[in-house]
Amino acid sequence: MSSKDQDSAEAGEEPQAAEDQPSNLGDYDLGRPIDASRGMRAGLTSYGDAHFSLFLRKVFIKALGYSEAALSRPIVGIVNTYSAFNPCHANVPQLVEAVKRGAQLSGGLAIEFPTISLHESFAAPTSMYLRNLMSMDTEEMIAAQPVDGVVLIGGCDKTTPAQLMGGISANKPILHLVTGPMMPGSHRGVRIGACTDCRNNWASYRAGVIDIEEIAALNEELAPTAGTCGVMGTASTMACILVGLGLMPFKGATAPAVSSARLRIAEETGANAVKVIAAGERLKPQALLTRESFLNAITVLQAIGGSTNAVVHIMAIINRHPKLAGTITLDTFDEIGRHTPLLVDLKPSGANYMSDFHNSGGMAALLLELRPILHLDALTITGKTLGEALDAERVIPVPQHLRCIQPFDAPLHPCSSLVVLRGNLAPGGAVMKASASKDRRLLRHSGPAVVFAGSADLALRIDDENLEVTPDSVLVLQNIGPVGNPGMPEAGLVPIPRKLAARGVTDMLRVSDGRMSGTAGGTIVLHVSPEAADPESVLGVVRDGDVVTCDVEARVLRVEISDEEIERRRVERREVLAKGDSEHPWKARERMRGYRGLYMREVNQADQGADFDFLRAGFEG
């Protein structure tokens, strides 16, 4: 872009038409310095001669058929996360084309490039294990390549937070485009959808309520279209959070993956990318995102009854921001929850699907209800404040009996959809989605622990007829934290023992250092920190029969044993490790190779986001 065109773009004027662009022969003038701030001239490969570097870059980009006129435009990078192993992203090729159309109609040059693609069900040991790797991939590709701004196309659970983590660290203008939720299916005339109904029906199958033929038939209908889970799981939660952060249009979170609306949103995102590039520094993520932006996002999380996974992701995201790292803690989530009502009636906290949320007015309608408690002066990617964007939004009224969004003064639940618990069992904190409890009596409960040492032990004994367990027991699962598994799997939804499920028990208090799917429900304490694998962890020394107390109102999670007994067990555990338990993950990580070794040595705890310490803002080694 010429200096004249650049000045025009920054003033908000339309870019110069492609046919009027200069030939840029000056790029080869050895006596003229190269403006390496934008476009093809930015981030030149180091060959020791900048002019040769630019000459060689143009040699190869022209192999793709680009003209000098095209190469003079602002460059919009499009992150393509399509994978045949990722049905949530099946519509990415269509979205890429729509983004290109929007960018090029607005005077930009759109160039796509790939990064890692993560799907929850197709990544071993977990997609969370690879989230940080995807964030590194995203950051480095944005930083390394000559893009003036980037559209990040993602959808499945860990993709969106990974992209935002990497995008903040790279600090070029970023715009998010999610792939969108799938449509619900139908079974016996009843709507069903992934993945809350996957879990509910599997629980019914385990309990003998439905037979093998019916569970096979359900398998055909639970995910009937491309797209992310059609309930308020992690993917939908993160999409809504992106709107709360101001990084995506209001309608961008809810439009179905298979709708024409999703393609129009993609085209709009491409056009917006050119405007954001022209706006310069003020719309780069480290300038755009403030503490108030994140407080708005947490307010949205509480109001939608969103996924507990979002707590881990938001902590990782905010700790990538140089000005904000450390300014928000788990306690911030709890404080906001205490005055934020649950307004959206979606599974697993409610009864409906994302298509119902979209038809109710989506995020614009929700934010208008939440307006009294939002920070309306927070900036959005449009260049307007959130308040200004809401003032300009036209929301078609929907009769209340047809909406799944409750009025602010008539909520589904008055407050605290997600809560943070502390106590001797979780000095670093633990998280529970209280709104998804199936038996609210368990929100204040004490019972004897039935302890499982890990996922393998759980699989071996949970359905044993001789397991000493009652409905009042507390199921405790150890060693599924960030290091212990590794990758903090979504195994926190410990199944109800089969012999109890057969008697009609549908919920029990469960405690672990792992995660659970945002699509799951139950009275389940997650993300216990520090995790059981840590030699100092209290969770790691809990034994069968120890009484565990959970009191949501008091925000307490504790084991009813003395400090002296806890310390005695810790000392005993440290002695075992010192004698050479070389297979213990805390010890074995020192000799592991490759990414697994990097992950095991560098990942921090859930209350810090389970990110790599060296990726945090301000890390100095």
Element (H, E) at 447: strand 444-452
Q: What is the pTM of this model?
A: 0.93
Residue 613 domain-assigned (yes or no) = no
Element (H, E) at 558: strand 556-559
Same domain, 426 and 570: yes
Residue 612 domain-assigned (yes or no) = no
Residue at a domain's end among 172, 198, 221? 221
Same domain, 29 and 133: no
Residue 168 domain-assigned (yes or no) = yes
Q: What is the mean pLDDT of the chain?
A: 94
Residue 236 domain-assigned (yes or no) = yes
Helix 291-304 to helix 362-370 angle, to the nearest 10 degrees? 110
Same domain, 469 and 576: yes
Residue at a domain's end among 38, 71, 104? 71
Q: What is the pLDDT of residues 120-147, one digit of tens each?
A: 999 999 999 999 999 999 999 999 999 9
Same domain, 150 and 26: no
**pLDDT surpasses 50 at 11:** no
Distances (CA, A) of 345 to 154, 296, 352: 25, 20, 6
The boundaries of the domain holding residue 561 are: 418-590
Report the DSSP pairing between strands 474-477 and 426-433.
unpaired
Q: Is 494:475 a contact under the CB 8 Å cutoff?
A: yes
Same domain, 85 and 41: no
Q: How many CB atoms lie within 10 A of CB 214?
A: 15
Nearest-Å Rg of the Cα atoms of the chain is: 25
Residue 605 domain-assigned (yes or no) = no
Cα distance between residue 184 and residue 192, in whole Å: 6
Q: What is the pLDDT of residues 26-56, one digit of tens each?
A: 788 888 888 888 899 999 999 999 999 999 9
Task: Return the amino acid letter for 10.
Answer: E
Residue at a domain's end among 170, 200, 221? 221
Structure-token pair, residue 578: 């010192």
pLDDT more than 70, % of the chain? 95
Q: What is the pLDDT of residues 549-571, one digit of tens each?
A: 999 999 999 999 999 999 999 99
Determine the 3-state secondary structure of 296 from DSSP.
helix
Q: What is the pLDDT of residues 99-125, one digit of tens each?
A: 999 999 999 999 999 999 999 999 999
pLDDT classification of 590: cutoffs 50, 70, 90: confident
Q: What is the pLDDT of residues 315-329, one digit of tens each?
A: 999 999 999 999 999
Task: Return the amino acid letter for 172.
Answer: K
Rounded to 10 degrees, the C-alpha dihedral 517/520/525/527 comes to: 10
Same domain, 358 and 372: yes
**pLDDT surpasses 50 at 420:** yes
pLDDT classification of 579: cutoffs 50, 70, 90: confident
Q: What is the pLDDT of residues 523-545, one digit of tens each?
A: 999 999 999 999 999 999 999 99
pLDDT at 621: 61
Q: Is 605:483 a contact under the CB 8 Å cutoff?
A: no
Taking alpha carbons only, the member of 157, 81, 83 closest to residue 120 is: 157
Q: What is the pLDDT of residues 566-578, one digit of tens each?
A: 999 999 988 888 8
Q: Is 254:358 a contact under the CB 8 Å cutoff?
A: yes
**pLDDT surpasses 70 at 12:** no
Cα distance between residue 223 and residue 235, in whole Å: 14
Same domain, 167 and 306: yes
Peptide linkage before 195 cis (omega within 30 of 0): yes
Same domain, 81 and 35: no
pLDDT at 23: 57
Between vectors from CA 363 to CA 361 and to CA 368, what angle results, nearest 5°?
Answer: 85
Domain count along the chain? 4
